[in-house]
């Protein structure tokens, strides 16, 4: 496969894994989709690049949600986030901070904003969702509309996790960044990457780890497998792109880290939205 063909497959996979359901996080854009200028909940998940804090802050400044929340304890991306935050915020000691703490400090320091709720126990995409819902239940918040933001490689799976528990809510994706890859000779390079973008090999590892997780089969996370997420329809073009990349980079298929395993129970009867 040529580098140009590889780049095309990467971009197909990335577009599927990192959707945005709104052109921007503004009251006008939200109104065009929901009929209202605000959603009930705006939530950022800690697996994102540090630029997720900028996306959250800009949305908060425009009063796009009734409640704001950051979710994230410590998982497989936490050390990268700690290093990025320490570099961006001199004097901030991040060594033991959770992802939620880091992003909370970041938006307070850079934008003077305070996030309403912080969830600091979750360790993976599955319990990001369940612990988020449990905390909302504890606070008596019953969201009927949610905008959620995650790293672009994991956004689709986050939506499927929410959809399992909130099948009738309005769920709006907004991946924290969107980036394209192109060929530069025999090399792969980013076009206009966000600050702190993953090294290319790690980005590929994250992307290639998603399709097996999104699958609704015995090995996947859908109802026919582990049952962590609602079923996801994977288009043929996306499956083709994944298959080609898996053959090209078999060593980059990411397995789940058992150190961060576990979904956590959901005890949230009040969360179930009305139809």
208 in the same domain as 86: no
Look up residue 59 and give its two tokens: 């949305």
158 in the same domain as 111: yes
Q: Does a structural domain hold residue 257?
A: no
Q: Does a structural domain hold residue 89?
A: yes
Q: Among all chains, which residue has been given the structure tokens 């959620």?
A: 148
161 in the same domain as 27: yes
CATH number at residue 221: 1.10.3620.10
Q: Into how many domains does the chain fold?
A: 2
Q: Does a structural domain hold residue 259?
A: no
Model confidence, pTM: 0.89
Distance between start and end Cα atoms, the chain: 49
Q: Report the C-alpha dihedral over residues 85, 89, 92, 95, rounded to 10 degrees.
A: 20
CA–CA dist 22, 228 (Å, integer): 26
Look up residue 265 and give its two tokens: 């129970």
pLDDT, one tens digit per residue, over 124-167 is: 777 889 999 999 999 999 999 999 999 999 999 999 999 999 99
Q: Does a structural domain hold residue 170?
A: yes
Look up residue 263 and give its two tokens: 């979904």
234 in the same domain as 196: yes
Contact 264, 135 (CB under 8 A): no
CA–CA dist 36, 76 (Å, integer): 36
79 in the same domain as 142: yes
**CB atoms < 10 A from the CB of 247, how many?**
9
228 in the same domain as 148: no
Is the alpha carbon torsion for 170, 19, 97, 94 positive or negative?
A: negative
Q: Report the C-alpha dihedral over residues 210, 180, 20, 260, rounded to 10 degrees.
A: 30
Query: For residue 119, what are the domain limits?
Result: 19-177
Q: Does a structural domain hold residue 258?
A: no
Q: Does a structural domain hold residue 97?
A: yes
Report which of residues 195 and 263 the model is more confident about.
195
114 in the same domain as 84: yes
pLDDT, one tens digit per residue, over 201-240 is: 999 999 999 999 999 999 999 999 999 999 999 999 999 9
Q: Does a structural domain hold residue 81?
A: yes
47 in the same domain as 67: yes
Which residues, in sequence order, are bridge partners of residue 70? 44, 118
CA–CA dist 140, 7 (Å, integer): 46
Q: 260: pLDDT confidence band, cut at 50, 70 and 90?
A: very low
CATH number at residue 148: 3.40.50.620
């Amino acid at each position: 496969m040529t580098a140009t063909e590889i780049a095309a497959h990467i971009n197909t996979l990335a577009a599927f894994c990192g959707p945005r359901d709104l052109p921007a996080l503004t009251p006008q854009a939200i109104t065009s989709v929901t009929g209202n200028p605000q959603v009930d909940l705006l939530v950022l998940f800690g697996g994102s690049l540090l630029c997720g804090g900028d996306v959250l802050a800009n949305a908060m400044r425009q009063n796009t949600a009734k409640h704001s929340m950051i979710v994230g304890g410590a998982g497989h991306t936490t050390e990268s986030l700690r290093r990025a935050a320490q570099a961006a915020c001199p004097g901030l000691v991040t060594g033991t901070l959770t992802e939620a703490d880091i992003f909370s400090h970041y938006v307070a320091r850079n934008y003077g904003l305070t996030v309403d709720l912080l969830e600091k126990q979750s360790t993976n995409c599955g319990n990001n969702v369940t612990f988020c819902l449990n905390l909302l239940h504890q606070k008596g918040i019953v969201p009927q509309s949610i905008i959620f933001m995650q790293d672009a490689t994991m956004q689709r799976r986050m939506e499927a996790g929410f959809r399992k528990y909130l099948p009738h809510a309005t769920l709006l994706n907004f991946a924290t960044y969107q980036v394209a890859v192109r060929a530069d000779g025999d090399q792969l390079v980013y076009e206009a990457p966000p600050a702190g973008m993953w090294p290319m090999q790690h980005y590929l590892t994250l992307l290639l780890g998603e399709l097996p997780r999104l699958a609704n089969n015995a090995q996947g996370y859908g109802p026919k497998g582990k049952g962590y997420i609602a079923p996801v329809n994977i288009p043929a073009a996306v499956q083709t792109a994944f298959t080609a990349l898996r053959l090209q980079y078999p060593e980059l298929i990411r397995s789940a880290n058992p150190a961060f395993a576990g979904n956590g129970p959901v005890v949230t009867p009040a969360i179930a939205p009305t139809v």
